[in-house]
Amino acid sequence: MHPKALLDACADLVRLVLQFEHPADAVVSRYFREHRSLGPRERATLAETAFAVLRKKLLFEQLARSGSGPKERKLAILGFFGPRDFLASALNDTEKKWLATCDAIPADALMAPHRHNLPEWMAQALQAQLGEDFWDLAEHLQQPGTLDLRVNMLQAKRSDIQKELAQAGIASEPTPYSPWGLRLQGKPALQKTDAFTRGAIEVQDEGSQLLALLVDAHRGEMVVDFCAGAGGKTLALGAAMRSTGRLYAFDVSGHRLDALKPRMARSGLSNVHPAAIAHERDERVKRLSGKIDRVLVDAPCSGLGTLRRNPDLKWRQKPQAVQELTEKQQAILQSASRLVKSGGRLVYATCSVLPEENELIAQAFSAANPDFMPLNVAQELERLKVPDAARLCTPEMADSGQIQASGMYLRLWPHRHGTDGFFAAAWVKK
């Protein structure tokens, strides 16, 4: 595609994602379906440009106030993903001068919002938790997330898959914490690899793998993934169970569970039972009350730990929505806990970085349920041979101003651990 036509298409896609009517990845997918002639490189340029604009929206909008021409075009120029000389060939002389002026502005001359590129309420919440460390996080949230894979240990060893991918020209390295993970450079076309088609690998962030690891599901057990979604953790649990026992994948969205079925078929697992439920108090849930060895509640949350991958969430998510989510999280955790049998394990997890969705939910549950004994997550991960486990469980400040007991909760951060932002708490039923 000619550089000018490609830049026009980028500006068009930027306009569509900034309407925030749908999640950005859905807008991009739809755009590609409507423009089937686009090649893989053009698709990469379009998607990465749109996501760059979402990541640095406040800065780019500020810079776009100067210069001439439509705002979406200026935003697309600032976020353009591709060689600079290719971009230059699509610009007129005025645009080239304007872009050079923008490029020359030193970072320390920018106002705080144009450096962190977060809505004010979010920036304040994160600063309260992290202090000066906040700026390191803000920087990481403006970079794309890494591409992590989970090796299906039912089928292969991690080292063998690493070699196989290398032969296909895909470089990877073992993830530092998860024993199942490989981290890739760039975004290669995995769907075409033999390892992917035969179910030996699944795309899954290392942090998400650690949540599944913490459940510590064993052969022959009864396990429930209570908010299974498209089933990334379900598949990890099934492999840990060596495809034995019974693994229930519950979700209120049948549509999301449909996405699990082809993945399940590839994985070779025969112990997974997906079931759409009406709500957390569904009859199916009641029938299993007190019978389950392990329950994972990966609760619906604000998703603010995934801003590297879903930068539109920072503009679509609102404080009042978070408040509504916390009520839902408490209700779901309480209902799911009824499934756990005596001596069984309950794990609550989110991909949020906000204490009100994390520590405060866990503390409230512990206070209301004395029959559930909180587990020290750092010690548990150490027992599961996760390297440097204590580093994954830094004590964090709760809203009450109390520092949490060290190691009680898993707390993953992009800038500290290279994963998405995740939280987990675990209990054993007495």
Catalytic residues: 351
Q: How far is CA 262 from CA 150, 191, 194, 252, in A?
A: 17, 13, 16, 19
Phi first, then psi, for residue 396 (nearest 5°) are: -120, 155
Closest to 116 (Cα-Cα) out of 411, 303, 314:
314
Residue among 150, 165, 129 nearest 419 (CA):
150
Closest CA to 278 of 335, 334, 320, 235: 335
412 in Cβ contact with 207 (< 8 Å): yes
Provide the CA 102 distance to its chain's centre, in angstroms: 32
DSSP per-residue codes, 318-380: -HHHHHHHHHHHHHHHHHHHTTEEEEEEEEEEES---GGGTHHHHHHHHHH-TTEEEP-HHHH
Distance CA 105, CA 195 (A): 46
Measured CA to CA, the distance from residue 104 to residue 107 in angstroms comes to 9
- β partners of residue 274: 249
Cα gap 39→12, rounded to integer Å:
17
Q: Residue 231 has which token pair?
A: 């089933």
Q: Is 425 helix (H, G, I), strand (E, B) or coil?
A: strand
